Structure 1
Amino acid sequence: MARYLLVVRETEENIMFELIFLLVFIATLLATGITLATVFIATVMGFIVLALLGMIGVMFKLLPWIIVIVLGVWFFRHVVYTPR
């Protein structure tokens, strides 16, 4: 059951990112007008937005591990390791 919920959650997040991409793409086309150059610009802007959102998503997924690593390094430096 938990595995199914995890799959559903990831699917909902993917749908949200796709919806954001679609809205940004349409807004960019409407703001610039629809020509070949503006379609190319809209595609590049959409790629940039998706790349940034993907990086933010990965950061939030890795945040617990980053906190554990920082705490481990702090513990090692202040409790375990004693300089000579």
Structure 2
Amino acid sequence: MFEFLFLVAFTLVLIFTGVSLIGVFIAVAAGFAVMAVVGMLGLVFKLLPWIIVIALGIWFFRERNADKQHQERMSRHRRY
């Protein structure tokens, strides 16, 4: 929502200062690109603790399954 309000205010300021319509469109497109990237980075930082928890969970799950598979292979190859 903040990004949308920024773009509206940015467009109104450009219109009131007398910038041409093409200049307004280019400036709004550039402002949108910058605000989209900043918004995505903000979301990543906001979700970073959960991303770390998920990555650790996947890592532990894979390690556990690798150990089980290794034990199964070793038990099949034992000679009695």
How high is the TM-score relative to the length of structure 2? 0.60
Give the Å deviation of 1:43: 0.7
Helix, strand or coil at the partner of 1:71: helix
Give the Å deviation of 1:47: 0.7
What are the within-5 Å matches in structure 2 for residues 23-62 of structure 1? Answer: 34-62=19-47
How high is the TM-score relative to the length of structure 1? 0.57
| Structure 1 residue ranges without an equivalent (≥5) | 1-13
Give the Å deviation of 1:77: 1.2
Aligned residue pairs total 59
**Aligned-residue CA RMSD (Å):** 2.5
Q: Provide the rounded CA distance (Å) in 1 between the counterparts of 2:32 and 2:20.
A: 18
Q: Which runs of 4 or more aligned residues in structure 1 lie more than 2 Å from their structure 2 counterparts after TM superposition?
A: none
Q: Provide the rounded CA distance (Å) in 1 between the counterparts of 2:47 and 2:37.
A: 15
Helix, strand or coil at the partner of 1:34: coil
Match of 2:48 among 47, 60, 63: 63
Structure 2 letter corresponding to 1:48: A
| Structure 2 residue ranges without an equivalent (≥5) | 73-80
The residue number in structure 2 matching 1:73 is: 58
